[in-house]
Amino acid sequence: MMQTFDAIIIGAGQAGPSLAGRLTAAGRKVALIERKLVGGTCVNTGCMPTKAMVASAYAAHLARRGAEYGVVTGPVAIDFAKVMARKDTVRFDARKGNEDWLESMEGLTFIRGHARFESPTEVRVGDDLLSAPQIFLNVGGRAVVPDFPGVEDVPHLNNVSIMELTEVPEHLVVIGGSYIGLEFAQMFRRFGAEVTVVEKGPRLIAREDPDVSDAVRDILEREGIAIRTGAECIRFFKSDGGVGVGVDCTAGAPEITGSHILLATGRRPNTDDLGLDKAGVAVDKRGYITVDERLESNVPGIFAMGDCNGRGAFTHTSYNDFEIVAANLLDNEQRKVSDRIQTYALYIDPPLGRVGMNETEARKTGRKLLIGTRPMTRVGRAKEKGETLGFMKVIADAETKEILGASLLGTGCDEAVQSILDVMYSGRPYTTITHAVHIHPTISELIPTVFGDMQSAE
């Protein structure tokens, strides 16, 4: 029997439930379908559980440094079972809250199961056929298994399975020197594991400026994490001591052995088993759904939000996708995804807060630039906390005074970068920040000084 709705939402990540709330509040009859876990990546395997583990790792790190602050402590030990239980409490509570919200939402039919298209307006879930003139996809993504020789012959972890470990690895080898890999690398080093990061490219976090990349490497190496870049021939093989990894870097031993391998080499969208071909929905060569500025696919009435559309791979961009769709469909606004200013953070300690262009990107525009930098050793708040690693870098257009971007690497910088983002959205010049009064002592109070010290870039 056919069930008809005003809208069908597939996926209960960050965008789907919020859109369901707006649509039902507007009197629409909505079906929301989720085949696995409500809350998506953020709640279940991303932001919330990983940051809970990062918090435990930070507590261990600070405890080991207690004597620096005049705090007398004994030997620091890790109760890994309690670390993981705390992580589970955080994510389970968040998931339960989302589930309760959906189940109480008037006008919403919440369905658990695997949805597949039968036509541009029809979706099948098991024996049930659902129809709606508008269908919204919020199906997320998953970890990629890289095509390295021997990868299928050895046990390996991804960002999901590593959070189900019951003991700290003796030697964790992280394949991939980007955001997810580096967070787990530092975290498990602080839990007591030996850690090696293997990166195929010449440096870590390659999308960042070289000076940022170098500073991040220095931070990690200071904690005893081995970094192997330029690993051109990564391969895997069974070893008596665990899993062998061939790296063939320009320097260092050509092979290393780890007890555990974490593959952190990228993600792919969950679009390959939705029956998109039956709906005529176009995808790019990587499987991302092609969308326009309103996040509508090539098929009128079918929209894609979140990780599956290739327009952002973060919780905040997924939620912003919901806001764009809701504004255009319900609020008679004209919002575009291209109006979004890129911003994100790398949650190592200290964190990296990024907004807008980096220096490399800004120089490619051909504009006359102003660039200001300041090491965290000159930031009062950082000195007071005893956390002075990193630096701040801000970039502006020399003629228009428009803020083009910033890279803030230091304690509290994942929060401080928001003040720059807000000014960028307001369209105001960087002098808006230099004239503002900021609370002392905070990290944000130094941002006006960095902008004030800007010099012309050669």
**Rounded distance, CA 188 to CA 413, Å?**
22
First to last CA, the chain: 69
Phi, psi (rounded to 5 degrees) for 122? -125, 140
> Which residues lie closer than 8 Å to 451 by C-beta, 6 or more apart?
372, 394, 396, 430, 431, 433, 434
Count of CB atoms situated within 10 Å of the CB of 27: 8
| Helical segments of 223-292, H only | 276-279
Phi, psi (rounded to 5 degrees) for 166? -110, -5
Q: Are 357 and 318 in contact (CB under 8 A)?
A: no
Half-sphere exposure of 290 (CA within 13 A, CB side): 9
**pLDDT at position 37:** 94
Q: Confirm whether pTM is higher than 0.85.
A: yes
**pLDDT at position 143:** 94
Beta partners for 255? Answer: 246
Q: Looking at the annotation, which residues are catalytic?
A: 440
Tokens standing for 37? 């876990």
Q: Are 417 and 343 in contact (CB under 8 A)?
A: yes
Show pLDDT as tens, one digit a residue, over the chain (458 residues): 689 999 999 999 999 999 999 999 999 999 999 999 999 999 999 999 999 999 999 999 999 999 999 998 889 999 999 999 999 999 999 999 999 999 999 999 999 999 999 999 999 999 999 999 999 999 999 999 999 999 999 999 999 999 999 999 999 999 999 999 999 999 999 999 999 999 999 999 999 999 999 999 999 999 999 999 999 889 999 988 789 998 876 777 788 999 999 999 999 999 999 999 999 999 999 999 999 999 999 999 999 999 999 998 899 999 999 999 999 999 999 999 999 999 999 999 999 999 999 999 999 999 999 999 999 999 999 999 999 999 999 999 999 999 999 999 999 999 999 999 999 999 999 999 988 888 888 888 889 889 988 999 87
Residue 55 DSSP symbol: H
Helix 47-64, helix 80-103: angle, nearest 10: 150
Report CA 229 to chain centroid distance, whole Å.
22
Q: Sheet of 7-10: strands edge to edge? A: 108-112, 30-34, 7-10, 134-137, 302-304
DSSP-derived pairing of the beta strands 194-198 and 7-10: unpaired
**Rounded distance, CA 299 to CA 333, Å?**
21
> Which residues lie closer than 8 Å to 394 by C-beta, 6 or more apart?
371, 372, 373, 403, 405, 406, 420, 430, 447, 450, 451, 454
**pLDDT at position 382:** 94
**Rounded distance, CA 115 to CA 125, Å?**
5
3-class secondary-structure state, position 304: strand
* 3-class SS letters over 306-365: HHHHCCCCCHHHHHHHHHHHHHHHHCCCCCCHHHCCCEEEECCCCCEEEEECCHHHHHHC
Q: Are 23 and 30 in contact (CB under 8 A)?
A: yes
Helix 16-25, helix 315-330: angle, nearest 10: 20
**Rounded distance, CA 213 to CA 455, Å?**
22
Q: Are 380 and 410 in contact (CB under 8 A)?
A: no
**Rounded distance, CA 200 to CA 175, Å?**
8
